[in-house]
Structure 1
Amino acid sequence: MNRLVRFIALSFGLLFASTAFAENNCKVITVSWQYLECIEAEGKAADAKLNASYKKLMARFASERAEDPAEAEAFMAIAKDSQRAWLKLRDTTCLLEATDIDPDAVMHSTLINSCIARMSLERAVYLDGIVADGSGMWLI
Structure 2
Amino acid sequence: MNVARLMFFAFMAMSVSSVSFAQDADCEAVAGQRGECAEEAMKAAARVLNDRYEALIDRAGSRYIFQYQSRHEEHKAFLDRLKNSQRAWIMLRDSNCRLEGFENEWDKPSYSADLNRCTAKMSLERALYLDGILPAH
Match of 2:30, SS?
coil
Pairs within 5 Å for 1:41-56: 41-56=40-55
**C-alpha deviation, 1:133, in angstroms:** 5.5
Residues 94, 115 of structure 1: 8 Å contact kept: yes
**C-alpha deviation, 1:35, in angstroms:** 1.4
Supply the AA of the counterpart residue of 1:44.
Answer: K
Question: Which residue number in structure 2 is paired with residue 29 of structure 1?
Answer: 30
**C-alpha deviation, 1:122, in angstroms:** 0.3
Cα-Cα RMSD: 1.9
Match of 2:133, SS?
helix
Q: Distance in 2 between matches of 1:131 and 1:54?
A: 12
**C-alpha deviation, 1:105, in angstroms:** 2.9
Residues 57, 130 of structure 1: 8 Å contact kept: yes
Percent identity over paired residues? 41
Supply the AA of the counterpart residue of 1:62.
Answer: G
Question: Which residue number in structure 1 is paired with residue 57 of structure 2?
Answer: 58
Residues 91, 116 of structure 1: 8 Å contact kept: yes
Q: Bigger shift: 91-100 or 103-112?
A: 103-112
Residues 56, 131 of structure 1: 8 Å contact kept: no
Change over 3 Å in CA distance of 1:123–1:61 after alignment to 2 = same
Question: Which residue number in structure 1 is paired with residue 76 of structure 2?
Answer: 73
Q: 1:121 aligned to 2:120? A: no
Residues 47, 120 of structure 1: 8 Å contact kept: yes
Higher alpha-carbon Rg: 1
Deviations 1:15-66 (A, max 9, x none): xxxxxxxx8xx473142xx212211110111000000111111111111101
Q: 1:95 aligned to 2:94? A: no
Which runs of no fewer than 5 residues in structure 1 stay unpaired? 1-22, 135-140
Which runs of no fewer than 5 residues in structure 2 stay unpaired? 1-22
Q: TM-score, normalised by structure 1?
A: 0.70
Supply the AA of the counterpart residue of 2:105.
Answer: D
Residues 103, 109 of structure 1: 8 Å contact kept: no
Q: TM-score, normalised by structure 2?
A: 0.72
Higher relative contact order (CA 8 A, sep 6+): 2
Residues 35, 110 of structure 2: 8 Å contact kept: no
